[in-house]
Amino acid sequence: MNKSYFLLFVLYLFTNQSIKSQSYQQSLTDAQTNIQAKKYCEALSNFKNAMSTQEGIAEKNKFVFYTAAVAAGHCNDNRSAIAWLSQAQKNELVSKPEELKYIESDSAFVKLHQLPEWVEIITYMKESISSKQLSEDRLNKKWITSINENVANLKNKKILGSKPTFALYFTKIKDLKVPYLVYVPTKYDYKTPLKTVIYLHGGVVNTDKFNYENYQIQQEPIFSIGENLNAIVVYPFGKKDFGWVDQQEAFDNILTIVDQVQKDFKVDKKNIILGGMSNGGTATFYYASQKPTIFKGFYAMSADPNVLLSKIKFENISQGKKLISINAKDDTVYEFKGVENIYLKNKTTAKDWEFRSRDEGDHGFIYDPENGEKAFQNVIKELLEK
């Protein structure tokens, strides 16, 4: 069984308690408990009870249908397994080749493989993947065209107050072209200097290439925050062999980018802040510990200075340039206690470091549109308005 799908099923139960009837909610909760105990036939009974209710008939959540299909498959109810798996796919359960591979190898569905209905479902999934890929390719192509054209449009002042704008720029380090995005808010008028936010993304150690070609990058929370606060956002790209972890040239390149942005845009040079998330947040401690620093303040989301201790001079985080870090106590990537301990050890010398915590939200809490993103925006606003 796909653990990620099951966890999303559990999350669905948790976040929808208040809007589901007690009988429906209880049946799904009982199913969850039985699935975890591998009591699949009991779970199947729970799912059938749930699906017979008004809410069950109207259900659209793909992870509910997938988990129900798993229970049915293990309990030899092939008909129900096929029906629920089909419902799951109608709600886009599988959209990537690796997801299809997992479904095909799931032990819950082994007994379905000889059925013609199984072949139909797998064929449908493959067609969905192909269709999704074509759509993604079109969107990526449109995105690349747009961010390249906007460089000239911004230079010639052809974009003014109509919509927020992304533009793609490059620096050159030896033979390597290093990309960075600049997000220009709607109210940019080419005359009034704007506050500016530098954002260093996470996942650098797991990234093989600069991911600027993916249109979904524009959904990063930092861009909507930039629009809300009328700030320019600069988004450098890093990767495994050129990122803000092991390569000093990558650290130095951020300063080159900031210098170039100040030449290309009307920037309030006294109101530039830098920070990031995960690897990017950790790298922020390096910049905050440089003397002197050109930045007004710093922010670090889900960061762990322990990863970069050789580059951080904690005694220098005392220049009157506030560094706000936030870590979730349930972070499964960087252990909270480890980050808290390094803070407690250095707080007397790193006087500008303000360590904050959240009870929950895990490593990616900034992507929670309800609470995490708001907390993230409040930090950015606090630093820009300080």
Reported as a single tens digit per residue, the pLDDT across 288-334 is 999 988 999 999 999 999 999 999 999 999 999 999 999 999 999 99
Average pLDDT over residues 71-96: 93
Mean pLDDT, the chain, whole residue set: 91
Please tell me the class of the 3-131 domain: mainly alpha
Mean pLDDT, to the nearest integer, of 352-356? 98
Give the pLDDT of residue 24: 85
Say whether pLDDT at 366 is over 50.
yes
Residue of 218, 318, 234 lying closest to 280 (CA atoms): 234
What HEC string does 108-169 produce? HHHHHCCCHHHHHHHHHHHHHHHHHHHHHHHHHHHHHHHHHHHHHHHHCCCCCCCCCEEEEE
pLDDT at 260 over 80: yes
CA dihedral defined by 58, 86, 98, 4, rounded to 10 degrees? 40
Q: Where are the domains of the chain?
A: 3-131, 159-385
Q: Which CATH architecture has domain 159-385?
A: 3-Layer(aba) Sandwich (3.40)
- Does the pLDDT value for residue 9 go beyond 90? no
Residue 104 has pLDDT above 60, yes or no: yes
| Residue 191 clears pLDDT 70, i.e. is over it | yes
pLDDT at 5: 56
* pLDDT at residue 1 is higher than 70: no
Is it the case that residue 13 has pLDDT exceeding 50? no
Domains 3-131 and 159-385 share a fold: no
Q: Is the pLDDT of residue 163 over 60?
A: yes
